[in-house]
Structure 1
Amino acid sequence: MTLLKTLTHRHTTKAYDKTRKIPVDIFAQLLEALRYSPSSVNSQPWHFFVADNDEGKARIAKATSGPFAFNLSRVTDASHVIALCARTSLPAEYLQTITDQEQIDGRYADDATKESITKGRNTFVGLHEQEGDLTAWTQKQTYIALGFLLLSAGFLGVDATPMEGFDAAVLDKELGLKEKGLTPAVLVSLGYHSDADFNAKLPKSRLSEKSLFTHL
């Protein structure tokens, strides 16, 4: 599938076929899309909660009650659901795990390079801490991962639904997010649409190229 065909084919799924599951090898690739998503200074300021069974989906579905009930079936009927969460802090020990992993993966030519990259990352994180916008920044980074997940799902023929329509406080309590230093950013359901998915039948609609792009 070409990139353009992927972009024009994918859509926000409104109804899922609950009888269809994403093959294990396909879903493994989607997790890798999340893991390999880029982030500023390679901070990787996120954590992903994966529900691949009815019990796990039911836990996430608790956050789709009341005014968010319209998303309930999109959680319970999907093959998989992922809660993308952003870190509320990036303490020294967490940043050190990134440095250690980069060392293992051979990203440092020498100690001077390691020191320079580590110092730059720590400095950049410190600037956001000083500005008091660290959580907003980590959520922006998490949305980069969301984009990679949606594009990858479309490329692999998997339908997806990104959802901000959920009760963050309920999900926080259910998953113990605050105690883990996390805050929920967005939910994504994944699977295969059913015949009830009206959005799959509608033509794609976007603003024109002329209205979106200014060539300098």
Structure 2
Amino acid sequence: MDLIEVLQHRYTAKAYNPDRRLPEEIVAQLMAALRFSPSSVNAQPWHFIVAGDEAGKARVAKGAAGPFAYNAPKILNASHVVLLCARTTLPPEHLQAVLDQEQADGRFAGEEAREGQRKTRAGYVALHEQAGDLGMWTQKQAYIALGFLLLAAGTLGVDATPMEGFDAEALDGAFGLTDKGLAPAVIVALGYHSDADFNAKLPKSRLADSVVFSRA
């Protein structure tokens, strides 16, 4: 299956088969898609909470209460669920950990290159801190990771459902996100759809090329 076929085939699942589990090798590939996602100045301003058992999914499902209860069955019946979180701050210790990892991975030819990367990243972080939009910036990076996860799932034949409909306070209570400097961005259910999934039978609908593209 080529890329266009994957893009045309993948869709947002509305109901999952609770009896079908994702193989561990598939889960590992999906997690790699998240870990290796790009981010601005390689800040990696995210954390991913993965639920692969009933207890873990039940914790995530605490965020699907009240007006968001319609999302609870997707979370509980999916094979795995990922809560993508954005960092609310990028403190020196996080930036240092990223820099040290880059050093360990051989990204710097010397101290000058290392220092240049440190200054560039710190400069971008400072700009967003001064503008008061650091949280918005990190959320944008989390959505880049979401795109990589959805494309990876489609390539691997895995159904996925991104969900913004959740109670952020309930998720904070379940996982202590605020104390960890995190904010929930999006929940993604992963698995295999059930026969009750009406969306699996519907054709994909997108605006025409002439509407969404123009030439510079």
Same fold (TM over 0.5): yes
Where 2:183 maps in the other structure, the secondary structure is strand
Q: Distance in 1 between matches of 2:213 and 2:183?
A: 34
Superposed CA RMSD: 0.4
Give 2:78's aligned residue.
78
Identity, in percent, stands at 62
Question: How does the TM-score come out when normalised to structure 1?
Answer: 0.99
Give 2:105's aligned residue.
105
Number of matched pairs:
216
Q: Distance in 2 between matches of 1:64 and 1:113?
A: 46
Question: Could you list the per-position Cα deviations for residues 176-196 of structure 1 after superposition, in whole angstroms to 9, with x for gaps in the alignment?
Answer: 000000000000000000000
Q: Distance in 2 between matches of 1:65 and 1:91?
A: 33
Aligned residue identity for 2:159: D
Give 1:185's aligned residue.
185
Question: How does the TM-score come out when normalised to structure 2?
Answer: 0.99
* Residue 133 of structure 1: how far off its partner (Å): 0.3
* Residue 125 of structure 1: how far off its partner (Å): 0.5
Where 2:152 maps in the other structure, the secondary structure is helix
Q: Distance in 2 between matches of 1:90 and 1:56?
A: 27
* Residue 65 of structure 1: how far off its partner (Å): 1.0
Kindly report structure 1 stretches of 4+ aligned residues shifted beyond 3 Å. none
Give 2:50's aligned residue.
50
Aligned residue identity for 1:34: L
Q: Distance in 2 between matches of 1:39 and 1:28?
A: 20
Q: Distance in 1 between matches of 2:17 and 2:25?
A: 19
Aligned residue identity for 1:165: G
Gaps of 5+ in 2: none
Aligned residue identity for 2:173: K
Aligned residue identity for 2:154: G
* Residue 35 of structure 1: how far off its partner (Å): 0.2
Q: Distance in 2 between matches of 1:174 and 1:206?
A: 37
* Residue 198 of structure 1: how far off its partner (Å): 0.6
Aligned residue identity for 1:107: R
* Residue 215 of structure 1: how far off its partner (Å): 1.1
**Structure 1 residues 1-216: aligned runs within 5 Å:** 1-216=1-216
Where 2:25 maps in the other structure, the secondary structure is helix
Aligned residue identity for 1:200: A
Q: Distance in 1 between matches of 2:215 and 2:209?
A: 11
